[in-house]
Structure 1
Amino acid sequence: MENQIADKVVVITGASSGAGRATAFELAEGKASLVLASRNEAVLEELAEECRKIGSEVLVVPTDVTDNTAMHRLAVKAFEWKGRIDVWVNNAGVLAAGTFDEMPWEAHQKVIDTNLLGYMSGAHAVLPHFKRQGAGILINNISIGGYVAVPFGGAYTASKFALRGFFESLKGELTEWPDIHIVDLFPAFLDTPGIQHAGNYTGKVLKPSPPVYDPRIVARSVRASIIHPKSTRYPGGAPWLFKLGHALAPEWMSKITGMLMKGYFKIADPTEVTDGNLFNSVNFSMSTNGNSRPRLSPQTKRMISAGLLLGGAFGLATYLLSKRTGTV
């Protein structure tokens, strides 16, 4: 497996923390040639040195994914470094939480610029190189938020739903390029510092909704996607269940999620409103894990799974009954 990773030129955006950082370590162990990108150059240099100690060659290119010119410059520098780009990992992302109409419009716009246009910009920058080579793998860390809405995270949800549609469109566009692969990853919530870096306009301490997974599951999915590219992957077990629940009962899923979040805000500890890392990089919690709790016990996982399946079954039964009675 390592031999299939060794010397691959891999660009990773959002590499300074969370899933991007975990992916850098995962691929460094396989001796990939890494191009690390994010806004925080100092943290990238520290990460690069750690990856070099593991045995990987590393190029650091400070990049803001909301700047299309900078993204094209990233692609050019990566290509000039080794004469090719084998893999591009779109990973940089931000979150802004709060009541939609009470949040600054600029916060919504920044989420869209980063999460949606940043990924599109990555594709726009790297595809000419892939086409020139006749091959390449574009991996997108989208999240299960591409299927299941996140109340109080409207722009985040809009960006993730849009990403799923955009890359489905692009896959259809690239059918004449059989050796250019697009892989979409849909993990559930990850234990990363992202929740600590979020723009938080709720006035309450944010915590990720369970089940919470180690970001290394995304890193392993990236490695697997380099070795065996496939259109979609669902790291961890929960994303499949969330996707099924949404497919069978989308309205039920949205209402339940909204009720759970409103219930949490009633008991959550207060905190100051902050823009987080929306407009500028931060210099705290720049690690792989965010030490989020709680993680789920096997019993709780089974309860959630049963609830999602029952809700989905209820939604399907309601739909079939409505169709039979002519109310749909």
Structure 2
Amino acid sequence: MDTPGFRDGSNYTGRAVKPVPPVYNPRRAARTIVNLARYPQPSAYVGLPAVLARLAYGMPGYKWLNASLVNLALKRARPMANSSGNLYAPASGERRIDGGFRSTDKRRKAVMAATLGGALIGFCLSRRRRQRQD
């Protein structure tokens, strides 16, 4: 989600953190929360990557892969001083819903959508093959 939390929250990693692409408009999450208030459900997901991550969580190697990707992202991130963020004091700067992380590059979005679509197709085919073997 493209929220100021990544910028304003406490961060003791020594690196600048930002959301993992694709970065969604936070208004999508707000709409989902309002819909859950109107029509309660036990859980909800915003965006296909959230659904795929939930499905992948139980797969062997997921925790290792996820930890490796986080470590790689932190190694590539620019260094910054540790900060308690808005934990003990209000955040400075303009207050807004958006964090300023969303890309407007349509090509990048198309590549991401194609990648996620391919991953979903691969997951479905793998699951189908396993069901046939049982």
Q: Which TM-score band applies after superposition, normalised by the shorter structure?
A: 0.7 to 0.9
Q: Which residue of 1 aligns with 2:34?
A: 223
1:301/1:311 Cα in 2 relative to 1: closer, same or farther (>3 Å)?
same
Bigger RCO of structures 1 and 2 (CA < 8 A, at least 6 apart) = 2
1:214/1:293 Cα in 2 relative to 1: closer, same or farther (>3 Å)?
closer
1:262/1:308 Cα in 2 relative to 1: closer, same or farther (>3 Å)?
farther
Over the aligned positions, Cα root-mean-square deviation in angstroms equals: 2.8
Matched AA of 2:72: G
Match of 2:97 among 288, 292, 295: 288
Kept in 1, the 8 Å contact 2:3–2:100? The answer is: yes
Matched AA of 1:307: A
Match of 1:262 among 58, 71, 74: 71
Matched AA of 1:231: P
Kept in 2, the 8 Å contact 1:241–1:308? The answer is: yes
Tell me the TM-score normalized by structure 2: 0.76
Higher strand share: 1
Q: Which residue of 1 aligns with 2:18?
A: 207
Q: CA deviation at 1:308?
A: 6.0
Match of 1:242 among 42, 50, 53: 53
Bigger CA radius of gyration: 1
Matched AA of 2:8: H
Q: Which residue of 1 aligns with 2:110?
A: 298
Q: CA deviation at 1:288?
A: 0.3
Q: Secondary structure at the match of 2:30?
A: helix
Task: Give structure 1 stretches of 5+ with no counterpart.
Answer: 1-189
1:217/1:293 Cα in 2 relative to 1: closer, same or farther (>3 Å)?
closer
In 2, distance between residues paired with 1:255 and 1:305?
A: 23
In 2, distance between residues paired with 1:276 and 1:227?
A: 34
Percent identity, please. 26
Residue pairs, 1:15-164, within 5 angstroms: none
Q: CA deviation at 1:219?
A: 1.4
